[in-house]
């Protein structure tokens, strides 16, 4: 399954009525790899959080045939759990858990029938991403390894969409290039839609399209 995104007249307001993000029109066909870039504080993370339904917004967000903005909070959370894998800036890994337990976290929230499959897939992704000691606690993992655990976790539920916020930010060039390769391959192989915020030109070069956020506004779409 693959899902495209259509944003229409999206607006995110912050405290004090400040407009944080405005996007009149953005279409991301299913299977597209989209980069989002722009200056620090421009509103990229806020935009990604709105796209994921984590922060409230006005306007319309459609994922495939689903009018995401019209769903109840509960239905939106369920839709996100079923369809979106998220790789956030600070990884949000649990240090006291092993790489495998972190990667199969989605199994805790999945219907009983899908749990075993997620657990198996988590292990498989860790192995494919070169993490050969999945039972070790992630507290002792390097930055690049932690980023790959976060990626394995995002992929374990076999999501139609992957959302990533600066997935290479904390990594040296070699580790970053490996994460870019793995992320792009995981999406291309399964026709997943990828939306990734980055300043990294290597990552942006690997995308199909790149959009710029300037002072909360989405600017014209240009080829990567
Ligand atoms: N709930 C909120 N209320 C008010 N302002 C907010 C809120 N959330 C974020 N902001 C502000 O909105 C602006 C955009 O933040 P955001 O994190 O989206 O930027 P960014 O482009 O991702 O930046 P960076 O590249 O530094 O991560 C910042 O000035 C931030 O302080």
pLDDT tens across 10-34, in order? 999 988 888 999 998 999 999 999 9
Contact 28, 34 (CB under 8 A): yes
Nearest-atom index, ligand 1, CA of 199: 25
**pLDDT classification of 147: cutoffs 50, 70, 90:** confident
3-class SS of residue 11: strand
- The per-residue pLDDT for range 36-47, each reduced to its tens digit, is 999 999 999 999
Give the pLDDT confidence score for residue 220 in this predicted structure.
56
Q: Which one-letter DSSP state was computed for residue 85?
A: E
Cα–Cα distance list, 9 to 12, 57, 191, 201 (Å): 10, 10, 27, 29
The residue whose CA is least distant from atom 7 of ligand 1 is 14
| Percentage of residues in the chain having pLDDT higher than 90 | 69
- CATH architecture of the domain with range 5-218: 3-Layer(aba) Sandwich (3.40)
| Percentage of residues in the chain having pLDDT higher than 70 | 96
Residues 6+ apart with CB under 8 A from 59: 7, 8, 9, 10, 11, 23, 69
- The per-residue pLDDT for range 154-174, each reduced to its tens digit, is 999 899 999 999 988 878 898
Domain ranges of the chain: 5-218
Contact 60, 220 (CB under 8 A): no
Nearest-atom index, ligand 1, CA of 48: 18
ipTM of the complex: 0.94
- The per-residue pLDDT for range 45-60, each reduced to its tens digit, is 999 999 999 999 999 9
Residues 6+ apart with CB under 8 A from 9: 23, 24, 25, 58, 59, 60
The mean pLDDT value for 74-80 works out to 92
Angle between helices 143-156 and 173-190 (to 10 degrees): 10
The residue whose CA is least distant from atom 28 of ligand 1 is 41
Ligand 1 proximal residues by C-beta, below 6 Å: 14-15, 18, 20, 38, 40-46
Ligand 1, pocket-test mutation among 44, 48, 167, 213, most atoms within 8 A of CB: 44
Distance CA 119, CA 139 (A): 20
């Amino acid at each position: 399954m693959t899902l495209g995104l259509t944003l229409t007249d999206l607006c995110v307001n912050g405290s004090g009525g400040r407009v944080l993000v405005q996007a009149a029109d953005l279409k991301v066909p299913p299977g597209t790899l989209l980069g989002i870039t722009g200056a620090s504080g421009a509103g990229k993370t806020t935009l990604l959080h709105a796209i994921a339904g984590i922060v409230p917004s006005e306007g319309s967000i459609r994922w495939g045939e689903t009018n995401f903005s019209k769903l109840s909070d509960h239905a939106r959370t369920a839709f996100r759990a079923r369809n979106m894998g998220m790789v956030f800036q600070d990884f949000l890994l649990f240090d006291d858990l092993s790489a495998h337990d972190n990667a199969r976290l989605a199994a805790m929230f999945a219907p009983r029938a899908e749990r075993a499959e997620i657990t198996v897939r988590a292990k498989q992704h860790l192995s494919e991403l070169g993490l050969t000691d999945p039972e070790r606690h992630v507290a002792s993992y390097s930055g690049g390894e932690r980023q790959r655990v976060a990626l394995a976790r995002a992929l374990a539920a076999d999501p139609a969409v992957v959302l990533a916020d600066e997935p290479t930010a904390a990594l040296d060039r070699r580790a970053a290039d490996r994460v870019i390769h793995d992320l792009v391959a995981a999406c291309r192989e399964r026709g997943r839609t990828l939306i990734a915020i980055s300043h990294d030109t290597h990552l942006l070069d690997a995308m199909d399209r790149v959009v710029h956020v300037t002072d909360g506004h989405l600017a014209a779409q240009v080829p990567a």
